[in-house]
Structure 1
Amino acid sequence: MRIGLLGTGPWAQMAHAPALSGHGELDFVGVWGRRPEAAKELAQRHGVRAYEEADELFADVDAVAVALPPEVQAALAVRAARAGCHLLLDKPLAPTVRLGRAVVEAVEAAGVASVVFFTTRFQPEPRAWIEEQAAVPGWFTGRAQWLGAVFSGESPFATPWRREKGALWDVGPHALSVLLPVLGDVRRVTAAAYGPGDTVHVVLDHAGGASSTLTLSLTAPPAAAGSAVELRGEAGVALLPESSEGAVPALRRAADALRTAARTGRPHACDAAFGLRVTEILAAAQELLDGGPRHSSGH
């Protein structure tokens, strides 16, 4: 599969470009970025071409990987899908339900494959745990904490879109990617912004009858940063295991998942449609944080 990269920021440099260039089953063709000089530098580092126009890159590849802010990603994903490119997307899929739906509609109309890179879903230990717990009946409640120190330390990820959207949109998708396949879809959402900085608390009512709570922040003290998911139910208590590896191997697995979906025509569990569902839930929570209706279904 010939694949191109859209984006030149920290995530593109640290994860996407190394994952694509080191993947034995991919032909990493080139890079496009909003900053031509940065695209040129990243392309040279990996021995590929820097493209001045995104559409030129679309014409030369079978697929694109996207490492761009959600709003930019959504618009380019629609264009790439219409050009016949399979999509390896980042989370969140889009900053609004409308833009997320446009991506899904473009994917469906073009008949291309899509995978959204929810990191935890592509790490072996967490992925096996999620599949195992999804088969266990009788969960009563779940609790997820996803705490980053992006805004409380020196981080290259304190980017404009993260400052605007905060933890709900940056780490909220990770928490939802773990809870939804285990506890089921969400019927109602409640959210409140209590705590330092961008810290938010979300309560979810799941279709299976269980409830879950999410504590999300990018303003945690560095010593307190980290993630944890706990489930409690008839089977007892289950804790999400930590992964023994970082983002690059997981991203290569996501690329493998895209190749499989493209070859078989069978959608992956983390496709654009799932990314849209996550966006709908985040948007429902955001509406409450912004002073909208007291309860929302997320639909």
Structure 2
Amino acid sequence: MGWNAYPTDPESKVIQTDLLIGGVKVFAFGLENVSLPKPGDTKKVAALFVLHGVQNNHLLTDSIAHLIVDGRLKQNADADYPLVAFAIDLPNHGERAVDLRYNGFAHPYYNIAVGSSIDAAAYDVKNILEFLPAYYPQFEFEPYSLGTSLGGLISFRLASLIPLKGIINIVGAPDLPGVLYNLVVQTAKEDVTPGTYKKKYEELELSEDLQKKYPKVLHDNLSLASKKYFEVANTIPLLDIYGELDFLVNSALSSEVIEKAGVPGYDVEVYSEPVDHTTTITMIEKVKEWLYKRLDAA
């Protein structure tokens, strides 16, 4: 349990390939395991982007990507619709670190640094998806996104940028401004309510000091991203995973999608555990179950 890399099977047949796209190092899992189509043909491939949270790096998402691809290969090594996965370091994390102080909650510009990285990372993924065929022209990559914490927020941002086939959100939320706003004002867990993205900045009634930490441009940008996601939410399958004791990203900020589980016209599944803001191996097992079922049905 936690934010450390998960152990992987030492006998795993998953092949890792490192690519460079748009100045971003891309850690690819399973690409070289996919059988090639006939000359002149192309093959559809499920491309799962695995995105980490604040103060993490690609080592965590590498391990998650590896576990998910490895499980699929063991289940069906020559699937008609193969699965590959990609991990990257988010801006100002891991090998892309510039100033790690900005990733600390106590930094006065934490929200600006982290909030602006949602857009930056989303456009990184968009660029990677568009240029993957430059390396592998024989494959048609169909994108899925799995995000933990901040990575979950990025996944929802991606919904209006690329044709996502599915979103897996682990302890993130689609109410992007709600996450950062409630951190800034230090809302008590029981007082967190959904819908911050629907509010005008002036309605928040922030003090001058809090306005510096949570400026209007940040609120407006994140609110627009959330609105764009909800416009297409009924077209993208979603697995929403949350911690029932989460002190950082309250499940209330996902309530609008949680309520859609079982509603006709929506493909939403919800899973929770009695844990705080973390990931667990049982969450990853749930991801595998959900994703493999959809790959088989595609």
The TM tier, using the shorter chain, reads: 0.3 to 0.5
TM-score, normalised with respect to structure 2: 0.32
Structure of higher RCO (CA pairs closer than 8 Å, 6+ residues apart): 1
